Structure 1
Amino acid sequence: MQSALRGLYTTTIPPNFYGFTNYYKNRALLNLRKFQTQSCKFSSNHEKQIVQGRAYLPPWFSVAPMMEWTDNHFRTLARIISKHAWLYTEMVVAETIVHQKDNLDRFLAFPAEQHPIVLQIGGSNIDNLSKATELASAYSYDEINLNCGCPSGKVAGHGCFGARLMLDPEFVGDAMSAIAASCSVPVSVKCRIGVDDHDSYEELCKFVDTIVSKSPTRHFIIHARKALLNGISPAANRRVPPLKYEYYYGLLRDFPEVQFTLNGGVNYIEQVNVAMNQGAHGVMVGRAAYNNPWSTLGYVDSVVYGVPSDPLSRRQVLEKYQIYADSVVGKDAPNRPNVRQLVKPLLNMFHSEPGNGLWKRKADAALRHCKTVKSFLEETIDALPNSVLDSQLSGNPPKWEGEFGNMDLLLPPKYAARTWGESKFHACVAVTT
């Protein structure tokens, strides 16, 4: 990978102004530009771009939104391990934000250290999506993302939202336009490659094309599996439908003015670089980041971003997290987390390491009576060898033997029926550069 110092991603963007488009030179070198969707103004900005006055490296690596997993506590742990990964919240339902407007800290507050951070919202009512976005703007998220990919029956069933929204791209386009008008940061969509029998590449392109033509949306996170809404579980939806990475790479070819992040089936940090070396704009990792945070997130800054980092041992990570945890642990205050909730993100820190089984058994016993995370760690940490606690990650992650294949030979036929055409984009660039 090229050095991450080739450019900073930033986001200082007024309403209705979508602030990033990226390209690759030789399918790997990212160039960052600003694109104005309404007045068709374009300006090069290869060194710095800004989101609300804060400068970040681009979202080459992000941690997926996961219900009951990517809460404030896990995100705090993730940020201690990686300084540059983009973090997503759990999905927050728009109606919850609207109806709990006097209690928003419970759902939307986060420590400033978690930037860059993206709020994912869900819903199927445009007015509520707009109101929720406006209310959330006070919390200074760096991007607002709409869930169009969750296959859960509770979300996608009964004509609600999630993956079912992919069946109505006109609605999603209108919703994204309303969301963008209610905030001053980039907006994005997380979706699947299709739903049930609506799984052709043509239908996926129509979905993207409609949203791009109706709204300032220029970022899509593509889970490269379709969603099955016929009653199988969300877990089965993550493994039963086959991965079709060729659809993702087809979108890169057919929508060069849009940023696409690849999601689905990525479990190793080396896969991220393989995907990006083949042209991916960015990669989102889900359960691997949660189930093995040390070996996944620990390599992000150095391997994906090429940024020299001050390596921490797991003992040092625990010490930093404990300071945070005991500053927020409940003391009779409503909605304050308890020790069990705060310890939950730590339980996978020693994945596959000597002493992990004993530590988890001691953790189970300690959680029954410990009142602080400090006392919990003092009672359990001796189950782990010092060699595990004090060692740092090696210079290179374990090799990944697989590959994405020669996508140039697997790509679906080019999508030609564009409403917001490529020629329009390039004409805009020619006029203003």
Structure 2
Amino acid sequence: MVVNCYSPPLFSVAPMMDWTDNHYRTLARLISKHAWLYTEMLAAETIVYQEGNLDRFLAYSPEQHPIVLQIGGSNLENLAKATKLANTYCYDEINFNCGCPSPRVAGRGCFGARLMLDPKFVAEAISVIAANTNVPVSVKCRIGVDDHDSYNELCDFIYKVSSLSPAKHFIIHSRKALLNGLSPAENRTIPPLKYEYFYGLLRDFPDLTFTINGGITSIDEINAALKAGAHGVMIGRAAYNNPWPILGHVDTAIYGLPSSGLTRRQVLEKYQVYGDSVLLQYGLGPTVRHIVKPLLGFFRSEPGNGLWKRKADAAIQTCTSVKSFLEETLVAIPDSVLDSTFAQPPSGRGDLFANIDSFLPPPYRIREEDAV
């Protein structure tokens, strides 16, 4: 197993389909040097069947390290082939998706969250992936699926997967998945958060590593989760929709490192160079709309944001370069905002996990039929 030289994954940005693409990850890395970044989930079949076009799906700039490739699938042969093909791209970890509730994935694809119902297969899949790579393999899952949502059932899943495979790191989305009747968006908000399940896992599996995901939206809450014992914290849409105050404080408030001192204007200048180089390189590939999409939350809650968004909506229709897009829109933002560095992190619900011990589930006991 390769031991990397990066900061530990105390903080990571969740894999989000159609969101955590190369463009977003480039912006995220400009803001934070130490956040762990995840790709969108890639189906093993996509990698295998696009073998002649892999750069489109797997290529990234060296600056994006540390970066994790998330793979989904239920065909062991394709998982093995996809892993071998991905090795060329030198990801720092491979993550196996057992949490996506999308009907395309958990329904017709028969993988994602549905795989939580078959932990022995998950262990086999992890073993196949691990046998074809020299980087760590982790698992991202929910706390349950449909009516299989008890704490003991979650523990059975963790126990079997960790006992039968090399997986020792689990990223736990602290909601269950409902595979019938809810959309993927509703599955992110409607099933209740049960953080007590996550902290019960910390107690009952002290030899494993657990990252918490779901409902955490501020730097204060990240630090509160770490203080309560979480080995890492993963944030999704909050880090996408409001990147400056979240990612901007990761290096200092989470990792205790000096600030880069970059201003919003400097980040945008660097991102513009990246964006226009991509447009020149790929021609009919990504459009200005695709490249500036990660910027649309860049000034959230700041003076001028409303006018900026209106100008951005119009500029996306006509601009042929990122430079021209920024020239047309940044007039809406005061210089004081553009030239500001990271301020004090906004205060969040820092007491979110203060009384976690009071509602932990009863300790897990391995059932005789689950012993391996």
In the superposition, the TM-score normalised over structure 2's length comes to 0.96
Distance 1:157 1:91 in 2: 16
More displaced stretch, 268-277 vs 229-238: 229-238
Structure 1: state its 5+ residue gaps.
1-12, 15-49, 425-433
Maintained 8 Å contact 1:330/1:338: no
Give % identity: 67
* Cα shift readout 1:333-361 (whole Å, capped 9, x = no counterpart): 45x31111111111110001111111111
- 1:84 is displaced (CA, Å) by 0.2
Whether 1:409 and 2:348 are equivalent positions in the alignment is no
* Cα shift readout 1:70-106 (whole Å, capped 9, x = no counterpart): 0000000000000000000000010000011111000
- The 5-angstrom pairing of residues 25-424 of structure 1 reads 50-51=3-4, 55-158=5-108, 160-330=110-280, 333=283, 336-400=285-349, 402-417=351-366
Distance 1:399 1:199 in 2: 29
Letter in 1 for 2:60: F
More displaced stretch, 140-149 vs 374-383: 374-383
Distance 1:403 1:347 in 2: 29
Letter in 2 for 1:74: Y
Choose between structure 1 and 2: higher helix proportion.
2
- 1:405 is displaced (CA, Å) by 3.7
Distance 1:313 1:287 in 2: 22
- 1:412 is displaced (CA, Å) by 1.1
Letter in 2 for 1:344: K
Secondary structure at the aligned position of 2:141 is classed as: strand
- 1:237 is displaced (CA, Å) by 0.8
Distance 1:288 1:68 in 2: 15
The verdict on how the C-alpha distance between 1:168 and 1:263 changes in structure 2, with shifts beyond 3 A counting, is: same
Secondary structure at the aligned position of 2:317 is classed as: coil
Distance 1:195 1:325 in 2: 40
Distance 1:275 1:58 in 2: 15
Maintained 8 Å contact 1:209/1:418: no
- 1:330 is displaced (CA, Å) by 4.6
Distance 2:299 2:347 in 1: 16
Distance 1:248 1:414 in 2: 12
The verdict on how the C-alpha distance between 1:131 and 1:380 changes in structure 2, with shifts beyond 3 A counting, is: same
- 1:400 is displaced (CA, Å) by 2.8
Maintained 8 Å contact 1:266/1:272: yes
Distance 2:250 2:189 in 1: 25
Letter in 2 for 1:354: P
- 1:406 is displaced (CA, Å) by 1.8
Structure 2: state its 5+ residue gaps.
none
Maintained 8 Å contact 1:315/1:389: yes
Letter in 2 for 1:154: R
Maintained 8 Å contact 1:153/1:231: no
- 1:411 is displaced (CA, Å) by 1.4
How many residue pairs align between the two structures? 371
- 1:409 is displaced (CA, Å) by 2.1
Distance 1:242 1:207 in 2: 20
